[in-house]
A = this chain, B = another copy of it.
């Protein structure tokens, strides 16, 4: 308080040097402030007070930016397991956590489908999944493929959730109308169905069911334990 230091013209601290880490930081800020649909090369560059061209020195393309960001988001996940919690419960919990992370950011969830996230936190997640599957007695080949299947399911489910939430009721009404228009002669089974089953249901319960289906299926399709 005793002295006034000269202030730079901008409140923002002196332009930090560019780096992969600085870009991911900026991307995270943009994501939290403006939402996933605004997570573009141009906006991240603007956040760093530069032009979009500068990012291409550190990131191959938009997909690369997403891969980096997904790994960064993964950092907030609890990935510990001491073996006390039963493996199936632990698996449900980590997948639900991951789904929650992605469901708030639909564009990122879509990215997670086509990108192998690149970074240390992703490895931590894969490690936990492999440990849980090993505890379940799943053989190596099935475990490796199951990791892919589980993560793919979570990403797809998150993208679907988020998309539906964004569209609110509109699209669901379209679907209900389509289903209701089923001609009993052309679609006898469908017409005999309780269409509420197809479009409704508590997503939490549905998703827990889906994960149990995946787990049971993997167990059924794994070589006998110890093989």
Where the two chains meet, the residues of A that have a C-beta atom closer than 8 Å to any C-beta of B are: 110, 113-116, 118-119, 122-124, 126-127, 130-131, 134, 140-141, 144-149, 152-153, 155-157, 159-160, 163-164, 171, 174-175, 178-179, 181-182, 186-190, 193-194, 197-198, 201, 206, 209-210, 212-218, 220-221
Contacts and interface: CB of A to CB of B under 8 A. Distances in A.
User: For the complex, would chain A's binding face be called helix, strand, loop or mixed by DSSP majority?
Assistant: helix
A151 B115 CA distance: 20
Contacts of A140: 193-194, 197
B217 A213 contact: yes
Nearest to A189: B130
A143 to B, nearest CB: 8
A52 to B, nearest CB: 20
Contacts of A213: 146, 149, 214, 217-218, 220-221
A215 B179 CA distance: 24
Contacts of A153: 152-153, 156
16 contacts: A110-B113, A113-B113, A115-B171, A116-B171, A123-B181, A123-B182, A124-B186, A126-B198, A127-B188, A127-B189, A130-B189, A144-B193, A144-B197, A145-B209, A215-B217, A216-B220
Contacts of A186: 123-124, 127
